[in-house]
């Protein structure tokens, strides 16, 4: 079975299929609907063969379907029939959870995705627990509003780094993870990592997408990574 992994971000849409080595991307943004996403993916992967699709969704997911609209994209995702639109079996998971699954190495791991927003996932002994911790109150707003992409642009890197370290410390104290993995496009801007943290990779999102399917192609694509 060949898998097409779709990583839907608030800024870019990225895809990678089994047997391919380089992801393809196109801009997303606040005007992208679910139907537009499908059309964009079909265009990006027009010359790739795939039997099933994994989608990393930038919003809350329940029972394999969106349970809330994505904050950084256009509305209309709830109730959308992704399997019908692609004409393939589809597994949909929160985008932070998909990247967390790709970087998981065992134990109790907290994943924080520092990107357009703040993606959060806890994995405990292989069980993925997607969360929306970024929306919890923090200072005069929320965690996401202080460490997301808008905060980075508004406050500058120095203040943003201090806030990231503080948010990590607070979540470590509350959830007691064995380790924290910092991923997302902005994680690379950290000069030093807070104690108990390691740096993830955006490519882990594709590894996580392959891991969702227990087929030989998925196991081969994730060889060397434990789930």
> Is residue 20 in a domain?
yes
- Considering the domain architecture, whether residues 214 and 171 belong to the same structural domain is answered as no
Q: Does the pLDDT of residue 220 top 80, yes or no?
A: no
Q: What is the pLDDT of residues 133-176, one digit of tens each?
A: 999 999 999 999 999 999 999 999 999 999 999 999 999 999 99
In terms of domains, do 37 and 118 share one? no
Domain count across the chain: 2
With bands split at pLDDT 50, 70 and 90, how would you rate the model's confidence at 219? very low
Give residue 144's domain range.
106-199
List Cβ neighbours of 88 (8 Å cut-off, separation of 6 or more).
4, 50, 51, 52, 53
Rounded to whole angstroms, the Cα distance separating 68 from 75 reads: 9
Q: What is the mean pLDDT of the chain?
A: 92
Cα separation, 64 vs 93, in Å, equals 6
Task: Judge if 57 and 127 occupy the same domain.
Answer: no
Least confident of 46-55, 113-122, 194-203, 208-217: 208-217
Model confidence band, residue 221 (pLDDT cutoffs 50, 70, 90): very low
pLDDT in tens, 49-88: 999 999 999 989 999 999 999 988 999 999 999 999 999 9
Q: Say if residues 142 and 132 touch (Cβ distance below 8 Å).
A: no
Q: Indicate if the pLDDT at residue 227 is higher than 70.
A: no
Residue 226 placed within a domain: no
| pLDDT score of 217 more than 70 | no
Question: Three-class SS of residue 72?
Answer: coil
Asked whether residue 115 is domain-assigned, the answer is yes
190 and 209 together in one domain:
no
**Length reported for the chain:** 227
Residues 114 and 153 in one domain: yes
Q: Which pLDDT value is given to residue 72?
A: 86
User: Is the pLDDT at 225 greater than 80, yes or no?
Assistant: no
* Nearest partner of 19 among 1, 7, 37, judged by Cα: 1
Q: What's the predicted TM-score (pTM) here?
A: 0.86
Give per-residue pLDDT as tens, 19-44.
999 999 999 999 999 999 999 999 99
Q: Look up the CATH number of the domain holding residue 15.
A: 3.30.420.40
């Amino acid at each position: 079975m060949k898998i097409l992994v779709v990583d839907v971000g608030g800024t870019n849409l990225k895809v990678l299929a089994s047997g391919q080595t380089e992801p393809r991307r196109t801009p997303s943004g606040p005007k992208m609907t679910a139907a537009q996403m499908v059309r964009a993916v079909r265009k990006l992967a027009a010359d790739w063969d795939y039997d099933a699709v994994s989608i990393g969704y930038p919003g809350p997911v329940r029972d394999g379907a969106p349970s809330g609209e994505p904050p950084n994209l256009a509305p209309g995702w709830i109730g959308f029939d992704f399997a019908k639109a692609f004409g393939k079996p589809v597994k949909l998971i929160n985008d932070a959870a998909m990247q967390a699954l790709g970087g998981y190495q065992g134990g109790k791991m907290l994943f924080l995705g520092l990107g357009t927003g703040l993606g959060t996932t806890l994995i405990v002994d292989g069980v993925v627990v997607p969360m929306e911790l970024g929306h919890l109150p923090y200072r005069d707003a929320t965690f996401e509003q202080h460490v997301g992409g808008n905060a980075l642009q508004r406050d500058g890197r120095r203040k943003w780094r201090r806030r990231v370290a503080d948010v990590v410390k607070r979540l470590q104290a509350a959830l007691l993870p064995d380790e924290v993995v910092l991923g997302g496009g902005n994680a690379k801007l950290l000069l030093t990592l807070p104690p108990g943290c390691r740096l993830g990779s955006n490519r882990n999102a594709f590894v996580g997408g392959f891991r969702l399917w227990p087929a030989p192609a998925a196991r081969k694509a994730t060889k060397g990574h434990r789930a």
